Amino acid sequence: MGTEANVVVLPKDTATLRIETLTLPDPAPTQVVVKQFASGICHSQLHQMHRPRQHNVVLGHESTGVVLKTGSNVRHVKEGDTVMVTWVPRNAAQADSAPVTAQLDTSDGVAISENVFTWADHTICDQQYVVKVDPNIKTDVTAIIGCAVMTGAGAVINTAQVQPGQSVVIFGVGGVGLSAVVGARVAGADPIIAVDLDDAKLDFARAFGATHVINASDTDPVAAIHEMTRRDGEFTIFKQEVSGADYAFDCIGIRQTMEQIVPACRSGHFGVCEGGTAVLVGVPTTPVELNAIDVLVNEKHFIGSIGGSCAPDRDFPRFLEWHESGQLDLEAMVTARYKLEDINTATDALQNGQIQGRAILEF
C-alpha cells in the first residue's frame, strides 16, 4: 500500500509549478519514506526550473522529517526516527551501491528527481540521503542544514579548512553565503569580509559575524579587499607589498564574481608562502576567463567546493551543535516561511531577490 503525498511538480513544458496529490510507492529495499516537517528553498531549484527538460521533475533537496517506512535493507534508521533529507550521500565511503532515484506517476506522465525531492509533505528516497538526527532538534529552521548550511559552512571548514586568524572574503550573502560567514567565525577567521550589492543584506551579514562589508554596486570589491588585507613587511616576486584574502569564496557563481575571487586572493610571499585560494561554491552557468599570470606568479589556487565537501553523518551533528550553542542562528537565517500551496509565490520572491536569508516551506 502506497503513501499519499502532496507534491510540487515542475511540468516539462512550463516553469509554473503545480501541486498534485500522488501515491508514493512502497520503499524498494534501500529506500525510505519520510513524512516531512519543513524544506528549504534553494537557488539551484530556480536553475532547474529554467533549464530545458524531457519530463516532469520533482524538486527540493533539504528537509527535516520523520521516518514512516523503510525498505528491507535499511539499517541506520527505523520508523519514528527524526531525520534530515539531503542531496549528498550521508557516508559515501560505506555506500556499496549507487543510490536509487525515485520516479513518480503524475497526471501527465512520470516525474523524476535528480536525487531527492523535498517540496512535498511526504517523500521517498534512497537511504543514503537520509541522515538520522537527535529527535529534540527544532524541526522547522534546521531544514536548511541539508543544503544551505552544508554548502556554505562546509566550504569553509571542510574544503578550505580555514585556520584561526586567516582572512576570508565571501561574495554573496544569501543563505549559503551567510552559512559561510558563520563557518568562518567558528573557524576563527579574521577579518571576515562580506561582499554583496544590497546594504540590507550586508548589515544582516554583520549579525552573523562579518567584520567588514563591501557594497560592490558602488565600490570595486577587489581593490577594497586588498586595502583591508595589507601585510606589512611581506613582498611579492615583483617587490609589491603582499595583500589580499587567504580565501575568497564565491557563493553566487556568476561570471563577474567568479572572475573577482582570484584577484581578490592574497599574492604569494616569494619563497615564504603560497598565494591565497579562490573557492567556487555557487553553481556556475557560464565559462570564465582566468588570469593565468596572476595564478602562476602569485601561486594562487582556484578550487571548487560541492556540498561543502560534507559527509552528512559526520557534519550534520556538528552543525546542530552550533545551532544548539547559539553559534549558528538559524531562527534569524530563516527569513520567510511558506505553505506548500504558495510555492510559486516563494520561488518568485527568491527569483526577485526578496529573500534576505533563506526561505522554507512548512508542511
CA distance 281 to 271: 29
Pick the stretch among 11-19, 27-35, 41-49, 347-355 that binds Zn ion (CB under 5 A): 41-49
**Radius of gyration over alpha carbons of the chain, in Å?**
21
Pick the stretch among 2-10, 36-44, 94-102, 253-261 that binds Zn ion (CB under 5 A): 36-44
Give me the least distance between CB of 48 and Zn ion, in Å please.
10
- DSSP codes joined into one string, 229-257: T-EEEEE-TTSPEE-SBSEEEESS--HHH
Give me the least distance between CB of 3 and Zn ion, in Å please.
25
Give the three-class secondary structure for 124: strand
List, in sequence order, every residue forming a beta bridge with 276; answer none if it has no partner.
none
Give me the least distance between CB of 176 and Zn ion, in Å please.
8
CA distance 119 to 108: 19
Residue with cell 549528498: 88
Nearest residue to 174 via CA among 21, 340, 356, 44: 356
Give me the least distance between CB of 200 and Zn ion, in Å please.
23
CA distance 153 to 307: 9
Q: Which is nearer to Zn ion, 170 or 216 (CB)?
A: 170
Q: Which is nearer to Zn ion, 3 or 86 (CB)?
A: 86
Interface mask toward Zn ion for 248-267; x: CB under 5 A: --------------------
Pick the stretch among 77-85, 116-124, 140-148, 320-328 that binds Zn ion (CB under 5 A): 140-148
User: Which of 44, 115, 219, 335 is close enough to bind Zn ion by CB under 5 A?
Assistant: 44
CA distance 85 to 76: 14
Q: Residue 30 half-sphere exposure, CB side, CA atoms within 13 Å?
A: 13
Say whether residue 6 binds Zn ion (CB under 5 A).
no
Residue 331, judged by CB atoms within 10 A of its CB (0-12, 13-18, 19+), counts as exposed
Give me the least distance between CB of 147 and Zn ion, in Å please.
3
Give me the least distance between CB of 310 and Zn ion, in Å please.
12
Say whether residue 42 binds Zn ion (CB under 5 A).
yes
Say whether residue 147 binds Zn ion (CB under 5 A).
yes
- DSSP codes joined into one string, 68-94: EEE-TT--S--TT-EEEE-SS-TTGGG
- Fill in the amino acid letter for 56: N
Say whether residue 279 binds Zn ion (CB under 5 A).
no
Pick the stretch among 30-38, 141-149, 216-224, 242-250 that binds Zn ion (CB under 5 A): 141-149
Say whether residue 180 binds Zn ion (CB under 5 A).
no
| Binding footprint of Zn ion, residue count (CB under 5 A) | 3
Query: Which residues bind to Zn ion, rule: CB under 5 A?
Result: 42, 44, 147
